[in-house]
Chains A and B, each alone.
Chain A
Amino acid sequence: MQAQSSIKSDAHLPAQWHPALFDYLLRLGDDSLILGQRLTEWCGHAPALEVDLSLANIGLDLIGQATLFLELAGEVEGKGRNGDRLAFHRDVLAFRNCLLVEQPNGDFAQTMARQLLFSTYSHALFEGLCQSAEPRIAEIAAKAVKEVRYHAELAADWVIRLGDGTEDSSTRMIDGLDWHWRFVEELFEVDALEQPLVEAGIAVDRTQLRAAFDTRIAAVLTEATLPLPVYPRGIKGGRTGHHSEHLGHLLAVMQYLPRSYPDAVW
């Protein structure tokens, strides 16, 4: 990975913020990185050539966002780790992504269900982060928000067509949403680590994003003639490193080359 735009390295925040900010940036960067890597698994396998490109484009947008967030995380940490180091030389327990993004692709419907849920949430988050008191975060968010909006719209288009399509496509869409729905709650959680960052205006209060998310998802599912999924209890843990079995396998593929050949360059 290479940084797509240079971010000024002068510290805008007092040092006492750095540990929490580092973790927050990992959460943002890892969400994008892991989903980006997941989507690249579709390369050459999508239902049509055009869809292959759509998914690869989304994946590349996400990996670009991850690069910016992780480069900044490395600067904030101040221990000489850059974005590549954080992406490819961290073990599974040190990843801070939400559980939703590490879920397996399943079929195309399951992938689109995950994309709709994540991108709809992510769009609202980045809209908020454009006003972050940390200007380097606001700068990344301003670039990412347009990308993510397109992802959310594309995913909604597909969910509507598959939901309101054939009996087979509708069943698959319902199954895909059911698989992912239990991971939605985690997206809107603010824990003790984020709370001070929220109060300082650096982070977005995720709990405030839920109502608009529910409204938007309900509108898409209604148009898709799909039932709103219900799941009794959300599953959490990604933000503190408690991941599902799927993440380790993803990292093994993603990290194999830079770990086996640490000096490899393009």
Chain B
Amino acid sequence: MSREWPLWEVFIRTKGGLSHRHAGSVHAPDPELAMRHARDTYTRRMEGVSLWVVRSSDIVASDPAQDGPMFEPAEGKIYRHPTFYEIPDVVKHI
């Protein structure tokens, strides 16, 4: 077994109502310390109100070599964008 601590990805909710967003990563030996390290590394300046940490190795990522078949078919299909609706000014975060 490696002596290196495993890597954890850190997600921060900046305020109530918003989604958690990826902020970075930390090394830590276990989930509890990963949470402490995330708090101490990424929320020192009031960046968030909620934290998620997840082991980097548990993330299923798309294969960069498959970018073509994965993402290019979505190009040029503007009818999938809801740009034909007017959004009232009072609606935030959309």
Decide: B44 and A50 in contact? CB cutoff 8 A.
Answer: no
Chain A residue contacts of B29, Cβ below 8 A:
161
Determine which of B5, B32, B41, B44 lies in contact with A157 in the assembled complex, contact meaning CB atoms within 8 Å: B32
Chain A residue contacts of B36, Cβ below 8 A:
54, 154, 157
Q: How far is the CA of A18 from the CA of B37 in the complex (A)?
A: 42
Closest CB of chain A to B33's CB: distance in Å? 6
Determine which of A53, A154, A161 lies in contact with B41 in the assembled complex, contact meaning CB atoms within 8 Å: A53
Considering only residues 17-73 of chain B, those with a C-beta below 8 Å from chain A are 26-30, 32-33, 36-37, 40-41, 44
Q: Per-residue CB proximity of A35-77 to B under 8 Å, as 1/0?
A: 0000000000000111101100100000000000000000000
Q: Is the interface of A mostly helix, strand, loop or mixed?
A: helix
Q: Per-residue CB proximity of A146-172 to B under 8 Å, as 1/0?
A: 000000001001000100000000000
- Which partner residue on chain B sits nearest A57 by CB separation? B40
A residues sitting closer than 8 Å to B (CB atoms) are: 48-51, 53-54, 57, 154, 157, 161
CB-defined A-B contacts under 8 Å, sample of 21: A48-B5, A48-B27, A49-B27, A49-B41, A50-B26, A50-B27, A50-B28, A50-B37, A50-B40, A50-B41, A53-B37, A53-B40, A53-B44, A54-B36, A54-B37, A54-B40, A57-B40, A57-B44, A157-B33, A161-B29, A161-B33
Q: Which 3 residue pairs spanning A and B have beta carbons closest together?
A: A50-B37, A54-B40, A53-B40
